[in-house]
Amino acid sequence: MSLTPIGEPRRKITTATIRERKFEHTPITCLTAYDYATARLVDEAGIDIALVGDSLAMTMLGYENTLSITVDEMLHHVKAVRRGVKDALLIADMPYGSYHGESSDAIHNATRFVKEGGAEAVKMEGGEKRVDVIRRVIDAEIPVAGHIGLTPQSVNVMGGYKVQGKSLNAIEQLMRDAVALDRAGVACIYLEGIPREVGAMITAEVETPTIGIGAGPDCDGQVLVFHDLVNLTFGPPAKFVRRYGDVAALITQSVLAFKADIISRHFPNDAESYHLPKETQAALDTILRRKHAIQR
Ligand code: KIV
């Protein structure tokens, strides 16, 4: 059995494990991962869920929001993460437009994430109004993660990235959304950008594990965007982000030191250079000596 860097045993996480965690009251850990290297580090650290979030549109590809990323672009990253993840449950985000029309299209796209990308579940934003399509995808044997509250794919409808569920009507709608997803049999529900009190109410109401991001500490698990965790996002972090490292500073420091070493001719040094085998060097020396002798 392999161990995490702090010596905990690692085991394969499935949708069933996630469900057990809620009943055992063991917090579920989740991070986004977008490429092979970070997926490996996240997996080897023993994080339960590696989520290939469509937030990669912004964090990795520099798009303004998540709306323009395509299924093919997402798949490129899901495949890379698949190659890096062994034990974590791999969830892939369905991008905007890939499940908003005919449910046959949604099933076709979700199937691509499983067959081509190796995802073990897909995530779709929306509650009551998406529940029919979510049910169809689950019927096609693909576990679905729900996502309600501040759903970034609805940015234009919400009029910005605003905390949701602040009025009584909004709370009522969120509860209906959560219950609809629970009844549909989703694997987990991501709760984003809602008051702590509402996160706690939903978590207590549904049997499905909830995973919060800006939804307070009472959810069954927590997720952060990897780039937020390590300070690789440019600009001020959201209120709910806790930075655990400063990778941006580390990268800048390393790049500046590299540049300075090239300019001062300290990189590479002799130990960092390849050398000719002794016999080749000796033969070359002989040839060069003869050439010099002829030229004189
Ligand atoms: O796209 C994403 O990274 C997400 C998480 C923040 C839940 O949806």
Query: What domains, with CATH codes, occur in the chain?
Result: 15-246 (3.20.20.60), 251-295 (no CATH)
Query: Catalytic amino acids?
Result: 192
Closest Cα to atom 7, ligand 1: which residue? 190
Alpha helical stretches, state H, the chain = 15-24, 36-44, 56-59, 71-84, 103-115, 131-139, 155-158, 168-184, 196-205, 226-229, 247-263, 278-295
Which 3 state secondary structure label does DSSP give 206?
coil
CB of 32 within 6 A of ligand 1: the answer is: yes
Distance 195 CA to ligand 1 centre (A): 17
- Report the pLDDT value the prediction gives residue 10, as an integer from 0 to 100: 82
| Atom 1 (ligand 1) nearest CA | 53
Max CA-CA distance within the chain? 98
CA of 172 to the centre of ligand 1 (A): 23
Reading the chain (296 residues) residue by residue, the pLDDT tens digits are 788 888 888 899 999 999 999 999 999 999 999 999 999 999 999 999 999 999 999 999 999 999 999 999 999 999 999 999 999 999 999 999 999 999 999 999 999 999 999 999 999 999 999 999 999 999 999 999 999 999 999 999 999 999 999 999 999 999 999 999 999 999 999 999 999 999 999 999 999 999 999 999 999 999 999 999 999 999 999 999 999 999 999 999 999 999 999 999 999 999 999 999 999 999 999 999 999 998 87
Q: Does the C-beta of 223 come closer than 6 Å to ligand 1?
A: yes
Please, what sign has the CA dihedral across residues 276, 281, 285, 291?
negative
- Cβ–ligand 1 distance for 55 under 6 Å, the answer yes
Ligand 1 in contact with 93 (CB < 6 A)?
yes
Ligand 1 lined by 202 (C-beta under 6 Å): no
Q: Give 66 Cα–ligand 1 centroid separation in angstroms.
A: 10
Please state the length of the chain.
296
List of residues 6+ apart from 57 with CB closer than 8 A? 63, 65, 66, 67, 68, 69, 73, 95
Give the residue, by CA position, lying nearest to ligand 1 atom 4.
Answer: 53
Say yes or no: CB of residue 125 within 6 Å of ligand 1: no
Residue minimizing CA distance to atom 8 of ligand 1: 53
Amino acid at 54: D
Q: Distance from the CA of 234 to the center of ligand 1, in angstroms?
A: 17
- CA-based nearest residue to 54, from 30, 77, 87, 83: 77
Burial 199-227 (b: 16+ CB within 10 A, else e): bbbbbeebebbbbbbbbbebbbbbbbbbb
Q: Is 153 in the pocket of ligand 1 (CB under 6 A)?
A: no
CA angle, residues 200, 161, 106, in degrees to nearest 5: 80
CB of 177 closer than 8 Å to CB of 127: yes
Ligand 1 pocket test, candidate residues 29, 30, 31, 32, most atoms within 8 A of CB? 32
